[in-house]
Amino acid sequence: MFWLEVCAAICCFTCLLARKIPTYDYLEDNIYTELRSLLDDRDGWKEGGGGVGHPREERGWTPGLVLGQVAGVSVDPLGRPVLFHRGTRTWDYLSFNSSHHYQEGGPLEEDVVVVLDPDTGEVVRSWGRGHFVLPHGITVDSKGNTWLTDVALHQVFKFGGEREESELSVGEAGVPGSDDHHLCKPTSVAVTSSGDFFVADGYCNARILRFAADGTLKDQFGHQGSEGSAGALYVPHGLALDETRDALCVADRENHRVVCLKAGLQHQQQFGQPVMTLQDPNRSRVFDVAFLNGMLVGVGGSEDEGVATGFTADMDTGDLLDAWAPLTGFHNPHAISVSQDGVAIYVAEIGPNRVWKFVLDTPATF
């Protein structure tokens, strides 16, 4: 297994050279020094990146249907991956006007929420026809409720169990805003065991909102900026919640970082206090994050940026532990989710429109 990883690393470096990317921009900075040390440290690989195992692509696993832009992925309590895709619709520079109002049509008349068999990738169930305009984020909570964000509707929805009518919504349909009753292109949701939930709001407002289970706004944090403080966010794009640590981690996309904050679950006044920042985990934009056995995993980068990888980091130290990708590489990874038993990782991509399944190598597999 170690030599397979060595070969994969050599392929990555070869790709960098083939794309004529200046090597001094990559190989001499701290991120790639860390990646190189991971490759050199056989004992580190034996521990599987901090003891969580190295994510390895499950070859041949693929959904049995044609997908649109796969904006989101989550995993339900039964271990089934659940996708949120855009069907025949795409998001481009003409989709919104300067005031963030959507310009390109009404609800999608196709099922855009798809539940898959975790072993075969075959479709178990699909739904969502006529509900959504431009899908973005999906979270299935521990009770089986499905939370969805729609950037064109500027809303967040909660669907209970297998019901196909929402039981809760936040925001006003089609109306962007920045006050306590409106959202603007919300991206992601994280849900507590008590039913409180956090919303990354998102492309316009650059804030994190905390709501009670009934949808009442309790608190908010953040502002648009890039000055380096924990509250300076520039497209908060993904959320991950670890209740045992009272930590809410934000994929701060355009600031190329993950910023972790106090969730304020024990003491509400602590909400927003900085816990840890992981800057440039893969030297590119960070799109999404998730927790895996106490570690942080995420995806970032794109073809246009010259690098696209998954990464594993230590929540205690902020150290980068591992970098990973399918054998053929990522193109535009957009979302990540982990099964509740920590066995499988799923990554959704936009262009090509697909979802990957990774399993964790056990320690000492070579």
Residues 53-77: pLDDT tens digits? 899 999 999 988 899 999 999 999 9
Residue 154 in marked binding region: no
What percent of the chain lies above the pLDDT cut of 70?
85
For the chain, what is the mean pLDDT?
88
User: How high is the pLDDT of residue 38?
Assistant: 44
Q: Does 237 count as an annotated binding residue?
A: yes
The average pLDDT across 267-286 equals: 95
pLDDT at 362: 66
User: Three-class SS of residue 230?
Assistant: coil
Is 86 annotated in a binding site? The answer is yes
pLDDT score at 231: 96
203 is known to lie in a ligand binding site: yes
What residue segments make up the domains of the chain, in order of their start?
A: 1-65+280-366
Per the annotation, does 285 bind a ligand? no
Where do we find the tokens 């893969």? 282
Q: Is the Cβ–Cβ distance between 125 and 115 less than 8 Å?
A: yes
Average pLDDT over residues 38-50: 43
The answer to whether the annotation marks 93 as part of a ligand binding site is: no
Q: Is the pLDDT of residue 197 over 90?
A: yes
Residue type for 234, please? Y
DSSP character for 269?
A: G
pLDDT score of 6 more than 50? no
Give the number of other Cβ atoms within 10 Å of residue 82's Cβ: 22
The more confidently predicted of residues 365 and 261 is 261
Instruction: Give the separation between CA 286 and CA 250, rounded to whole angstroms.
Output: 9
Peptide bond preceding 363 in cis form (omega within 30 of 0): no
DSSP symbols for 64-76: SS--S-EEEEEE-
pLDDT in tens, 285-305: 999 999 999 999 999 999 999
Cα angle 173, 174, 175 (rounded to 5 degrees) comes to 95
- 217-221, strands of its sheet edge to edge: 186-191, 197-201, 207-211, 217-221
Cα–Cα nearest to 78, from 150, 146, 128: 146
Three-state DSSP string of 189-220: EEECCCCCEEEEECCCCCEEEEECCCCCEEEE
pTM across the whole model = 0.87
Mean pLDDT score, 117-142: 97
Residues shown for the chain: 366
State the pLDDT at residue 13.
43
